[in-house]
Amino acid sequence: MTTVVVVHKDGQIAIAADSQSTFGDMRLGAVDDARWNKIFEHEGSYFAICGSAAHDLVLQSALKKIKNLDFSSRAAIFESFRKLHTKLKEDFFLKPDEEEDDPYESSQMTVLVANQYGIFGVYSLREVYEFQRFWAMGSGRDFAIGAMHVLYDQLDAVALAKVGVEAGCAFDVSSSLPMTSYQLTKVQKE
């Protein structure tokens, strides 16, 4: 349960996330969590994960173990997460089962990725989306998307990301401030 957002506007890219962790009916806020930042950087890409809190350390460790992963495009991210899925099962004991009628094994996580190439979302069956303007994931996503939609023409990328997370935290019981945010400049494609 969380609110994480990515925004692209005027050549600027922002990623932001709330700080609350939730364990059933119990919440762990930033005041008591020594590692409340839900965003991590790996080789120039920023990642924010929704799902089990275990995914954070698992994905960070897995990214370090596999060389030559590429997060520069939708297709490259798909191939990278395809490689990661095998590593998650073999080395981290991922349980890939969700619904019986799912067409593929699940990686059990949803991830937002922001880097100089754009903003992307990766879903549990390794579906990869590239977003033009903004997107959000987690239990506060609906509030974040609504706020960013209304204010998109009025604010810059960083301010939009912050408004999105603030909206999620205002209305979603599983999200709370403070937030973390990072900003990048998008590389121009030739």
Give pLDDT tens digits for 154-188.
999 999 999 999 999 999 999 999 999 999 999 98
Over residues 71-120, the pLDDT tens digits come to: 999 999 999 999 998 888 888 887 778 777 777 776 778 999 999 999 99
C-alpha torsion angle, residues 20, 150, 161, 167 (rounded to 10): -20
Q: How far apart are CA 18 and CA 37, in angstroms?
A: 8
Is 29 within a domain? yes
Residue 190 banded pLDDT, cuts 50, 70, 90: low
Q: In terms of residue numbers, what domain contains 33?
A: 3-185
Question: What is the CA 37 to chain-centroid distance, rounded?
Answer: 12
Q: Is residue 126 within 8 Å of 82, Cβ to Cβ? A: yes
What CATH number should be reported for the domain holding residue 145?
Answer: 3.60.20.10
Q: How far is CA 1 from CA 49, 73, 111, in A?
A: 10, 27, 13
pTM of the model: 0.93
Q: Stretch 52-63: mean pLDDT, rounded?
A: 89
Task: Count the domains in the chain.
Answer: 1
Tokens of 37: 């930042």
Is 48 within a domain? yes
